[in-house]
Amino acid sequence: MLSFFLNFAFIYLFKSRKFKDTFDGPQKFHITPTPRIGGLAIILSVFAAALFYHFTISKTDIFYILVSSIPISAAGLAEDVFKKVTPRIRLLAAIVSVLTGSLLLDMILRSIDIPFLDFLFQVNLFAYLFTILAVAGVANSINIIDGYNGLSSVVSILILFALSYVSFELNDELIMIMSFVTIGAVGGFFIWNYPFGKIFLGDGGAYFIGFIIALLSILLVNRHSEVSAWFPLLLVIYPVFETVFSMYRRKILKKSKVEHPDSYHLHQLIYKRVIPFIFDVDRNNKLLRNSATSPFLWLICSFGVIPAVIFWEYTYVLMFFVLLFCILYIWLYKSIVKFQIGKYLK
């Protein structure tokens, strides 16, 4: 509820161009200047609700989670407002958040449930580096898919619902509370973001949500040996594989720098090629095409989330679904690129 009203207040108050998103660049598909500080409303709402639980049920770890999230969230918010925060600084902020989480919460991956590789995680340096890569990767992946109204917010809600379900099954009150608190905050933002795009998530919101998802996933695996390390990977397989595939596409196929943005993400191809074909939408009706794009990606995300929830204890089954998702993603991407998707939709 707080997130809903904060987002409304930001929409009303921040009409100055200084606080609005610009709509140029290869990854911009909205048509009007729009506030991009929805993430600030989410962060403030999560902090308020989490601190309430911290003081009422004496959950010190809740406070530690909030403290750990500050560096990466602050870097994202600074980029939203000033647009001058380099990727290196944002990575440094992610490293500080991970190190803070490791000191306060033991947020370090110690196993990936692959016997001939798990011994590496007994080396602290390797475990820390892998954890930093994983957390920064998840946080950045939520930002990567934040291209259309409702896309990253619903994907995040699906992932958080899965975490809350498994934590409920395991009676893990901390992870369940933080999952539901974040779901509520993201839901309040979603109402204003979808379908009309009155406010955007911004880097701050995407990094914060991604960090919370990564942190809760690591804590769940560390605190409960019965949870496979492949459970959270399958949960986030859509945004993570989107990011990995994009890096491969840019570096290997296009011979360009991986940080250079382009307009060839899966969600962008669906927007440009699939939506006009299915709905016979006027290409000038960008708002309708924008809002019609996200449900397709919600469905794609669910292909990872649903089996993850069903088989959260079974490593080899989860591995199979991770591989299956990657194969289906590549097939779908190639079909759209080669204009073959039409024959499957007729």
- DSSP states of 45-66: HHHHHHHHHHHHH--HHHHHHH
The answer to whether 146 is annotated as binding is no
Residue 80 CB contacts under 8 Å (≥ 6 apart), including other chains: 36, 37, 39, 40, 202, 203, 204
The answer to whether 203 is annotated as binding is yes
| Gap between the Cα atoms of 219 and 68, Å rounded | 13
Bridge partners for 276 per DSSP: none
Please provide residue 21's backbone torsions phi and psi, each rounded to the nearest 5 degrees.
-75, 145
CB atoms within 10 A of CB 44: 14
Q: Residue 75 has what DSSP assignment?
A: H
Cα dihedral sign for 82, 211, 24, 153?
negative
Bridge partners for 334 per DSSP: none
Instruction: Give the three-class secondary structure for 34.
Output: strand
Beta strands 34-35 and 20-21 are: antiparallel
Q: Which residues are annotated as a binding site?
A: 143, 203
Q: Which residues are annotated as a binding site for Mg(2+)?
A: 143, 203
